[in-house]
Amino acid sequence: MNTPQLTSALQGRFSPLRFDPNHQLSDADVVTVLEAARWAPSAGNAQPWSFHVRRRGEEGHDQLVEHLAASSRRWAPAASALVVNMARREVDDSGMTYSEFADYDLGQAVAHMTVQAHAMGLACRQFRAFDLEGLHDTLGVRPGWHILTMTAIGVPPRGDTTPPARERRSIVDLRTAGVSSPPHRRLQG
Amino acid sequence: MNTPQLTSALQGRFSPLRFDPNHQLSDADVVTVLEAARWAPSAGNAQPWSFHVRRRGEEGHDQLVEHLAASSRRWAPAASALVVNMARREVDDSGMTYSEFADYDLGQAVAHMTVQAHAMGLACRQFRAFDLEGLHDTLGVRPGWHILTMTAIGVPPRGDTTPPARERRSIVDLRTAGVSSPPHRRLQG
C-alpha cells in the first residue's frame, strides 16, 4: 500500500521554531481562528474552553511575555500573537466536575484553530514553557478553569525553510501501542 | 465585522446522528485517517495516543458493539467503523506520568482524524456511551493507557439532511469565560 496522501488542510502543517517579528495579524484573522475553535465538537456540547489572545504590540502582550520561560522567550515574543489555552474542568469552586473531557476537548479546539491558521498561511506552535501559576494569577483565571498551554501564531521568517518533520511512530504501533489485542490480520497498515 | 468564513476543511463538519449501514471503508480509507492522527502535534512529541479500529463486518467489530450502551447501540453499529481512542497518561504501571498532556494531545489527534475524514466525504461522531471498564478488560488495554472515547466513522444515510448545528457560545464569551481580564478594548470579536 502506498503512503497515504493527507488532505491539504493537514499536509505541510508544522510547528515553527522561529517567527517573523514583523508579521501582523488583523482583527479578522484573530476572529477567524477563534471561530474555528468555537465550532469544534465537545462532549455534551460543553465547550469547556476559553482563549486569552494578545497580539504583539497590543496592550497585555507584555504581560504574557513576562511569564515566558527562558527557552520560549527566545522565540515566542516574535510571533504575531500569543494565545493562552484554558480548559474548564470543574464547576466554579464546587469541586464538581464540569467535564471529564475538558482537556481532550480543549485539544480538539486548539487543533481546529491550528487547521484554520494553516489554511490562512499561518503557523502555530503550542508550548508549555511559561510560569503557569504566575500567569494564572495575573490573568485572574476563574475557579474551575485551568491553563494548559499557550499557542504562538504567526509566520516563519522569510527564507526559513520548513524544519524536518519530527519522527512519528509507525502506523502499526499507533494501532497496537495501547492494547494487547492484535490488529486485524488482513489490514496491517 | 462579518461572520468569518471557515476553511472548507472545517466548514460543514458535523457529528451525524445516524449512519448508512451499507457504506464500507476501504483499507486505504482506514490507513489514511490513522495517518492524519499520526501527524498531529503533541507535547514533547510524546504521541501519547493509540487507536483500536474495527470495521462493520470485520472480526472484532461485534466485540466493540457488545460494549455499547443502549443509547449508542441504536446508531453506532451502523457506522462503517468504530475506533477506540486511548491516551497514555502513565509510564506502564510505575505510577509515573508519561504525559500530563495525554488527554489534550489525544483530542488533537482525534480532531486531525476527523478533519481528514471530512475531506474524504466521511463524517465522525465521538461518544462515551459504552461500558468503559468492560471494554478495557476485553481489549487488554496496557498499563498506563486509558480509553477516553470512541469514534464512529461513516457516512449519513442517503437523503439524511445535515442536522442543525448545535449552539455555540459567542466568540466574546470564548475569550472571557476563563479569565477575569477583559478582552482587548479594540477587538470585541
Residue pLDDT, tens place only, B46-64: 999 999 999 999 999 999 9
- Cα–Cα distance between B47 and B50 in angstroms, integer? 9
Q: Residue written as cell 476572529? A: A31
pTM here? 0.95
Q: Which residue of A has its CA nearest to B34?
A: A171
Contacts of A10 in chain B (CB under 8 A): 9, 36, 39, 112, 115-116
- Cα–Cα distance between B26 and B32 in angstroms, integer? 10
Contacts of B97 in chain A (CB under 8 A): none
Q: Residues of B numbered 136-155 whose beta carbons fall under 8 angstroms of chain A's beta carbons: which are they?
A: 139-142, 145, 148-149
3-class DSSP string for chain B: CCCCCCCCCCCCCCCCCCCCCCCCCCHHHHHHHHHHHHCCCCHHHCCCEEEEEEECCCCCHHHHHHCECHHHHCCHHHCCEEEEEEEECECCCCCCECCCCHHHHHHHHHHHHHHHHHHCCCEEEEECCECHHHHHHHHCECCCEEEEEEEEEECCCCCCCCCCCCCCCCHHHHHHCCECCCCCCCCCC
**Res B70 pLDDT > 90:** yes
pLDDT at position B184, please? 65
Residue range A108-142, pLDDT digits in tens: 999 999 999 999 999 999 999 999 999 999 999 99
C-alpha distances out from residue A89 to A172, B57, B178, Å: 33, 38, 11
- Cα–Cα distance between A102 and A145 in angstroms, integer? 9
Q: pLDDT band at residue A189, thresholds of 50, 70 and 90?
A: low
Q: What share of chain A has pLDDT > 70, as a percent?
A: 94
Interchain CB distance below 8 Å, A178 and B88? yes
Under 8 Å CB-to-CB from A74, ≥6 apart: which residues?
A: none
Q: Could you give phi then psi for residue B76, rounded to 5 degrees?
A: -70, -35
Q: Residues of B numbered 8-67 whose beta carbons fall under 8 angstroms of chain A's beta carbons: which are they?
A: 8-10, 13, 15, 27-28, 30-32, 34-41, 43, 45, 47, 49-54, 58-60
ipTM strictly over 0.90? Answer: yes
| Cell triple for B113 | 482524524
Residues making up chain B, counted from first to last? 189
- Cα–Cα distance between B145 and B137 in angstroms, integer? 12
Query: What mean pLDDT is reported for chain B?
Result: 93
pLDDT at position B187, please? 65
Residue range B100-113, pLDDT digits in tens: 999 999 999 999 99
Judged by phi (left if over 0) then psi (alpha if -120 to 50, else beta), residue A174 lies in alpha
Coil/strand/helix, residue A145: strand
Of A36 and B184, more confident:
A36
Single-letter amino acid, residue B37: A
Residue range B113-159, pLDDT digits in tens: 999 999 999 999 999 999 999 999 999 999 999 999 999 999 999 88
